[in-house]
């Protein structure tokens, strides 16, 4: 069930990496946070408790695939200090999980990603992380596919 007023029902919500009948994984466009992903449930529901136990397991397995890829497939010098997981949905009441790699050098660390920036991000670290993300994303998509959670997105792109 789609909600015409919901931005996550109207479009992918970021750069679409993988998609399945139940969920999609996107890279979000968040200033200064290049390793910011969302696992978005396809159906318009607001709460995790609205899913069946099997659907909850499916959703959380995808969250773990995204987290694990960021921990295991970034070079040691670029591994996050912490992965933040959040399912807030106050502004967009459509079930989605934020999976955010946090680095001690990010502009807001250790404060929440939504806090005001406290410092500039070192350009060389940001550039290095952005260059390393395609390999981590390839591993992420491969793990999602191997687990039967979502498939890589090809030329077909977004599908509601």
Given a cut of 90, is residue 39 above it in pLDDT? yes
Contact (Cβ atoms closer than 8 angstroms) between residue 109 and residue 102: yes
DSSP 93-145: -S-EEEEEEE-TTSTTTTS-TTSPP-SPPPHHHHHHHHHHHHHHHHHHHHHHH
What the chain holds in terms of domains, given with CATH numbers, is: 7-152 (3.30.428.10)
Confidence of residue 4 (pLDDT cuts 50, 70, 90): low
Query: Do 126 and 119 form a contact (C-beta atoms < 8 A)?
Result: no
Q: What is the pLDDT of residue 3?
A: 64
Give the span between the Cα atoms of 105 and 82, in whole angstroms. 12
- pLDDT at position 158 over 80: no
Q: What is the pTM of this model?
A: 0.92
């Amino acid at each position: 069930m789609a909600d015409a007023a919901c931005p996550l029902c109207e479009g992918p919500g970021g750069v679409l990496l993988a998609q399945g009948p139940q969920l999609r994984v996107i890279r979000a466009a968040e200033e200064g946070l290049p390793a910011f992903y969302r696992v978005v449930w396809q159906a318009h529901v607001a709460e995790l408790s609205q899913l069946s136990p099997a659907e909850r397991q499916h959703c959380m397995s995808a969250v773990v695939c995204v987290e694990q890829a960021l921990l295991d497939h970034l070079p040691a010098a670029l591994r996050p200090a912490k992965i933040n997981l959040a399912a807030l949905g106050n502004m967009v009441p459509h079930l989605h999980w934020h999976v955010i790699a946090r680095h001690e050098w990010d502009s807001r660390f250790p404060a929440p990603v939504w806090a005001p920036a406290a410092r500039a991000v070192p350009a060389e670290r940001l550039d290095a992380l952005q260059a390393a993300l395609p390999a981590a994303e390839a591993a992420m998509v491969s793990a999602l596919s191997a687990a039967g959670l979502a498939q890589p997105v090809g030329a077909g792109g977004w599908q509601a």
